[in-house]
Structure 1
Amino acid sequence: MREVLAELDVPDPEHPDAWLTHESGWTLSIFSGGSCILSNSAMDTGPQYLEAISRAEALQLWIKLSRGQVQDMQSLPWKDGNAPPFPKKSSKYSNKHRLRRPWHNNGNSLIALALKMTPSAADSPVAVAEQ
């Protein structure tokens, strides 16, 4: 499971997620950006998502799913849907590394510079549920 999650560290726009499906029909998809989606195609329940989870938290969720501990997983603060409708600004991110010019014109090519955003571990959905 760790090896599969480690593959998400390499950007791949065609394959941005990895998932685990339990025999009960529950599937947990983990995305490279730190969100995950829990769904069950066999039941009449819509998908739910969490944001800003670490790889360690993702691994723990997969372990719970592999053991069939879905009720434990459902105690987390899931939100309805596949993902938030729009990216949101949050005070939990440090902007001290944010660049003043996020776009740089290098001759004929336009290069996007990455923004370093560091979420607080205390704001993690798994940490919130354990409190």
Structure 2
Amino acid sequence: MSETATMTEDARLAAIAELLRKADATPGAAAPIALGEHIVEAARVPKRHREALLKLTPMELTCVRFLGWGRSNSDIAALLLISENTVRVHLSNVARKLELDGMRELAALAGMLFYSAD
């Protein structure tokens, strides 16, 4: 990856982080939502996915959280002491339950939910 592409990617991530900070700090925003043991600012949770997100299993939510932090399937597997194939199955189930088009859409949603704005 070229230095220009890296700078562009860094600028894009900085802009996304700034948007997340603004959404999290919006006065009068709804109370945070508990997704299993994970607390997420309500502004980050798309309304069309709220009910389905609340029905995910704890392991599915944990896999999504690690995905949102930018972890690979093999990293997630090592952290959770499960196989990489099991991680793929959990993420596939999440994509199906949330009616997403695929892993890219799931990764984008996971990043929006769990990527730190700080």
Shorter-chain TM-score range: under 0.3
Larger RCO (CA under 8 A, 6+ residues apart): 2
Flag the structure with higher helix content.
Answer: 2
Flag the structure with higher strand content.
Answer: 1
Q: TM-score, normalised by structure 2?
A: 0.24
Structure possessing the higher radius of gyration over alpha carbons: 1
Q: TM-score, normalised by structure 1?
A: 0.22
